[in-house]
Amino acid sequence: MSTRNIIVIGASAGGFDALKTLVRSLPADLEASIFIVWHMPPDVRGLLPTVLNRFETVPAANANDGEEIRPNRIYVAQPDRHLLIEDGHVRVTKGPKENRFRPAVDPLFRSAAYSHGPKVIGVVLSGALDDGTSGLWTVKHHGGIAIVQDPKDAEVPSMPENAAREVEVDYSVPVSEMGPLLTRLVAEEIETSEAVMEDDKQLETEVKIAAQDSAFESNIMSFGELSPYACPDCHGVMSKLMDGKRPRFRCHTGHAYSADSLLATVTESIEESLWNSIRGIEESIMLLNHLGEHFSQDGKTNLAMLYFQKAREAQERADILRQAVFKHEQLSIDQIRDIAESDADDKTRSAGE
């Protein structure tokens, strides 16, 4: 018999206050190792452990590569580094970004599930989009416990909402109730037999990629099936992988995206591409007008008029692109789902009138 002594926690926007509330409610003698990934800018170093240690519960510190995992400790991911668990030690790596983040939640959760199976408790807190959903699915699929913050309690509900939608979570509770819940779960004895997974090799490969192994040499493209999408980070070929019925994508250099984060990134890059096109056209307009003026001063009126005409035609194309920029939407699955639900509510109200 054993206990659930590995707790992995993921948070993003709105997660700072949630983490403070959670850690404040933990007992100082909690016999578990806690690992936290909180999306943060690369220059925010040391902030979270300092704040969490003010509560004088479980000691917190930024994780260091290679240090031994000890109970009654909180290990916080460093800025711009993935946090992983490997053979009783902490790994701090600069592997490829996942869902546009490093540190990302999914690599931590996967590494915990791979190394500790049913001993793992995965927790997804407040945040945007869906980092953590794939990792929590892996935790659950490998025999661990899946917990999300009640979306109604979250400042930014997308991360816990998406996780609860895609994963058969065990608990969805306000963050104020998580401390007592975790304390109870850590104290329970469990069977130590490892869960059987059909995709152990894929999981092992993805954990190693986050630990800085070459995705290409690891033959990551042999898993899943090729997709028509190019990686937004490196423009490499992406393969479609599946977590149960949920698709996600990873390129041959290692960058990984959920379908939602890929949609958000692609639609964001469309606006950037349109502005770049407008810039290029406007530069051509300036050059055409400049040449037109040159030929006009040189007495070549017909040639000058042709350059001025081409400049006007280019301006018309730039105006069309500018209107396209203004009408363009940066999309996410959550946004589309909200629109669909709003339309359904409008139809229901209309039917009742």
Q: Where are the alpha helices (DSSP H) in the chain?
A: 15-24, 47-53, 105-116, 133-141, 158-166, 178-187, 200-210, 259-297, 301-327, 333-352
pLDDT of residue 195: 46
CA nearest neighbour of 108 among 116, 42, 147: 116
90 closest CA partner among 71, 67, 74, 120: 67
Average pLDDT over residues 284-304: 95
What is the architecture of the domain spanning 2-190? 3-Layer(aba) Sandwich (3.40)
Is it the case that residue 316 has pLDDT exceeding 50?
yes
3-state secondary structure of 35: strand
Contacts by 203-208 with C-beta closer than 8 Å and gap 24+? 203/110, 203/113, 203/114, 203/138, 204/114, 206/107, 206/110, 206/250, 206/256, 207/84, 207/86, 207/107, 207/110, 207/111, 207/114
- Specify the pLDDT at position 184: 97
Tell me: the pLDDT tens digits for 255-265?
999 999 999 89
Enzyme catalytic residues? 12, 39, 131
Q: Which two tokens stand for residue 220?
A: 């990551």
Going by pLDDT thresholds of 50, 70 and 90, the confidence category of residue 197 is very low
Residue 346 confidence (pLDDT): 60
Where do the structural domains in the chain lie, given as residue ranges? Answer: 2-190, 261-345
83-97 pLDDT tens trace: 999 989 999 999 999
Measured CA to CA in angstroms, residue 320 lies from 141, 274, 280, 281 at distances of 50, 11, 14, 11
Percent of the chain with pLDDT over 90: 83
Local confidence band at 196 (pLDDT 50, 70, 90 cut-offs):
very low
How far, in Å, CA of 302 to CA of 322, rounded? 30
pLDDT (average), residues 244-252: 94
pLDDT in tens, 20-76: 999 999 999 999 999 999 998 777 777 899 999 999 999 999 999 999 999 999 999
Is the pLDDT assigned to residue 350 strictly greater than 90? no
| Integer CA distances (angstroms), 94 to 102, 119, 151, 164, 257, in order | 8, 26, 31, 29, 17
Q: Indicate the pLDDT class of residue 193, thresholds 50, 70 and 90.
A: low
Q: Quick one: how far is CA 164 from the chain centroid? A: 16
Q: Which is more confident, 52 or 271?
A: 52
Q: Which residue has the tokens 């452990």?
A: 49
- Residue 147: the pLDDT is 98
Residue 347: the pLDDT is 62
The CB-side HSE value for 264 (13 A sphere, CA atoms) comes to: 15
199, pLDDT greater than 90? no
pTM of the model: 0.88
Position 198 scores a pLDDT of 45
Q: What is the mean pLDDT of the chain?
A: 92
> What CA–CA distance (Å, rounded) separates 250 from 71?
34
